[in-house]
Amino acid sequence: MARPTPLSGFPEWLPAERVVETHVLDVLRRTFELHGFAGIETRAVEPVEELLRKGETSKEVYAVSRLQDEEGSQERRLGLHFDLTVPLARYVLEHAGKLVFPFKRYQIQKVWRGERPQEGRFREFIQADVDVVGSETLPFHYEVDLPLVMAEALAALPIPPVRIAVNNRKIAEGFYTGIGLTDVDGALRAIDKLAKIGPDAVAEILREDAGATPEQARLALELAAITGDDASVADRVRALGVSNDLLEEGLGELVALVEAASRRVPGTVVADLSIARGLDYYTGSVYETTLVGHEDLGSICSGGRYDSLASDGARTYPGVGLSIGVSRLVARILGGGLAAASRGVPTAVLVAVTSEEDRELSDDVAAALRARGIPADVAPTAAKFGKQIRHADRLGIPYVWFPGTDGHEVKDIRSGDQVSADPGTWAPPAEDLAVTVHRT
């Protein structure tokens, strides 16, 4: 086999890089569990017809099929899930009778998207989602809680601060209705282009595609220009002179969200009424998160509220949740040198081997260390000690242990300090015990 070449879009990490990714996943899991989310994992495949319910994703689906499938097989066509929301909706319907609602779950799994390879996007990546799903009803306060859980999780990662921009479907829909602009989704699609093409071009699309009058277009753009992190946001919307019940409901929710956020995670959450992405399918709050100084990454954590995440006809399940694009974040941490692992292996101590006949002695030392929770390995061969120390050094292992029948010694190979030690009692300093990930 010739040396293989990487597959575009399928990221893979070296051991020291994987330590960073594992650290990120551990921190997320820990935060989600502190907040009482139960972890679930769903199968990687769903019936293709379920994956295609939102027509626009069809290009992104990877179909799977048995290579030796029989002709005329009656099996359902399957595809790899492209997010964790479609599987959650199916899981809730399938297991509803055995779940307690509101159902708070986190889910950290790979997803796949059959993107065109030349776009340079990931085709396989890890997502980390939190959602709360209610049965028939879901209190508004979860729309406040969920982004704050994510803010806490992201703050615990070795990354720059994040900015969570929030908006609310009810504001846009109520406002547009209030000014007589009836093509709400068309107007949202136009506003979604604001950052890319600017207000003049958006005004043109609003008039030509969404049927807006010049005055309606002007008001829609004024609405989209409003940002802020307190109740003044609502005042500035009201100053535009539009009156509508749904608009008022949305403003109340948005202010409740930014005020609670200011109190619990100051400086993180801002209302930004230009956020339109997702407003066509979310029904309440929506969230987009950028990494300060890395805005080119796009949103690293998005989500919102669905009044009907799932429905089996008899019963409707509303939900609110957010999803972190973990692989994209990890790729930036690694590529941008934001953080690094203290070493590429878990090993704190490499036990040297004096001769192959005495390997058992080294094995016993390693076993004694492990029994006390100290990751230990034994040298591959009874080479000269200098070579054994170099092996530890190449792996970043901080300590080398020299066993002896009449006494043991352990060397910190960074400082060169060597001391007598007992395998039943010696321990490395806490900072050397486990691999750590530090900001660089």
Q: Name residues contacting a copy of itself, limited to 94-153 (CB under 8 A).
A: 94-96, 98-100, 102, 104-105, 110, 112, 114, 117, 124, 134, 139, 141, 145
Q: How far is the CB of 18 from a copy of itself (least distance, A)?
A: 5
245-264 vs 141-155: helix crossing angle, rounded to 10: 30
Measured from the CB atom, the residue of 69 and 296 that comes closer to a copy of itself is 69
User: Does residue 337 bind a copy of itself (CB under 8 A)?
Assistant: no
Among 54, 71, 78, 157, binds a copy of itself (CB under 8 A): 78
DSSP-derived secondary structure letter, 60: G
Separation of alpha carbons 306 and 243, rounded Å: 25
Residues 277-296 binding a copy of itself (CB under 8 A) are none
Can you give the C-alpha Rg of the chain in angstroms?
A: 27
Among 211, 336, 346, 428, binds a copy of itself (CB under 8 A): 346
Report the SS3 class of residue 299: coil
Among 347, 401, 403, 426, binds a copy of itself (CB under 8 A): 347
Among 238, 370, 414, 438, binds a copy of itself (CB under 8 A): 370
User: Does residue 305 bind a copy of itself (CB under 8 A)?
Assistant: no
User: Does residue 269 bind a copy of itself (CB under 8 A)?
Assistant: no
User: Does residue 1 bind a copy of itself (CB under 8 A)?
Assistant: yes
The site for a copy of itself, by CB under 8 A, has a size of 100
Of the chain, the end-to-end C-alpha distance in Å amounts to 38
Q: How far is the CB of 193 from a copy of itself (least distance, A)?
A: 24
Measured from the CB atom, the residue of 308 and 440 that comes closer to a copy of itself is 308
User: Does residue 202 bind a copy of itself (CB under 8 A)?
Assistant: no
Q: How far is the CB of 347 from a copy of itself (least distance, A)?
A: 4
Do the Cβ atoms of 86 and 50 come closer than 8 Å?
yes
What strand order describes the sheet that includes 162-168?
Answer: 38-39, 103-112, 124-133, 316-325, 301-311, 285-291, 162-168, 269-272, 227-228
Q: Which of 300, 295, 8 is nearest to 127 (CA)?
A: 300
Print burial letters for 176-205: b (CB count within 10 Å at least 16), e (below 16): bbbbebeebebbbbbbbebeeeebeebbeb
Separation of alpha carbons 222 and 62, rounded Å: 41
Separation of alpha carbons 162 and 391, rounded Å: 40
Choose the binding region for a copy of itself from 170-178, 181-189, 330-338, 357-365 (rule: CB under 8 A): 357-365
Residues 375-404 binding a copy of itself (CB under 8 A) are 375-378, 380-381, 391, 394-395
Among 28, 79, 127, 146, binds a copy of itself (CB under 8 A): 79
Residue 72 burial (CB count, 10 A): 5
Beta strands 418-421 and 408-412 are antiparallel
User: Does residue 432 bind a copy of itself (CB under 8 A)?
Assistant: no
Residues 18-37 binding a copy of itself (CB under 8 A) are 18-19, 21-22, 33-37
Q: How far is the CB of 128 from a copy of itself (least distance, A)?
A: 15
Both structure tokens of 95: 């297991």
Residues 39-68 binding a copy of itself (CB under 8 A) are 39-45, 47-48, 50, 58-59, 61-68
Q: How far is the CB of 48 from a copy of itself (least distance, A)?
A: 7
